Chains A and B, each alone.
Chain A
């Protein structure tokens, strides 16, 4: 098996576009578009604290069950895709669900809500979010 050790990969024709071959060999796809552009794992109980993150500069407590994080490097637009998951294992407040706040995500911030099983806004013990899309 051959191996190239290098610090930076750049597209030759277009700096932000490198093509890789599919596992089955039937297709090719953009490497950059498949990479996560940001992710965060935080707790919202007591105070908002980032446990781990990538391309996230700050985390804001907007209100009960309402959190917003800012990107270190902005996205190209607000059309990116976010997946969120949350959990809460303190007391009887389980069955957490997370979703995006309507029309509140922008190229530099992402806003999400967490609710408990009664659909009431509630700060979750763990919130996870991953972003795919195009960086500016």
Chain B
């Protein structure tokens, strides 16, 4: 079995991104506690900070901007809460969480994944 040890992979021109054959890597993901007095980031990739924009409304800010707003986002919340995106920009994704009465409500665990192109 062959093994390549390297710290950085780029295309042969030294600057362009390398192609992952028939695969896509997430460009951002995050896990935060949305029902804390101040939402707490548990872990993430390209996840700079979270802005509490009101009850059940969060802005997840990226470290590196996305190339455009056509990226795909998937969301999951904790028990008895549902979620949707609310405002997508190249530097942040907005998330709404609601209870079973479809009323904005903070959620314990909020988790997101994002696939697309970085700037």
B52 at the binding interface (Cβ < 8 Å): no
Interface residues of B in 9-67 (CB under 8 A from A): 9-12, 15-18, 25-27, 29-31, 42-46, 63-65, 67
B68 to chain A, nearest CB (A): 10
Contact of B67 among A5, A24, A33, A81 (CB under 8 A): A24
The interface residues of chain A, by DSSP majority, are classed as: loop
A84-B76 in contact given A34-B25, A133-B43 (Cβ < 8 Å): yes
Q: Chain A contact residues (Cβ within 8 angstroms of B): what range?
A: 35 or more
Contact of B76 among A77, A82, A133 (CB under 8 A): A82
Chain A residues with Cβ under 8 A from B27's Cβ? 29, 34
A99–B81 CB distance below 8 A: yes
User: With A and B bound together, what is the CA distance between A67 and B59 in angstroms?
Assistant: 30
Residue of A nearest to B42 (CB): A79
B75 at the binding interface (Cβ < 8 Å): yes
A100–B118 CB distance below 8 A: no
Given known contacts A22-B17, A81-B43, what 5 new A-B pairs fall within 8 Å (CB)?
A9-B6, A12-B6, A19-B9, A23-B67, A34-B45
Residue of A nearest to B21 (CB): A3
B4 to chain A, nearest CB (A): 4
User: With A and B bound together, what is the CA distance between A127 and B73 in angstroms?
Assistant: 18
Interface residues of A in 74-96 (CB under 8 A from B): 77, 79-85
A23–B26 CB distance below 8 A: no
Per-residue B-contact encoding for A81-121, CB less than 8 Å = 1, 0 else: 11111000000000001111111000000000100000100
Chain A residues with Cβ under 8 A from B78's Cβ? 99-102
User: With A and B bound together, what is the CA distance between A76 and B46 in angstroms?
Assistant: 18
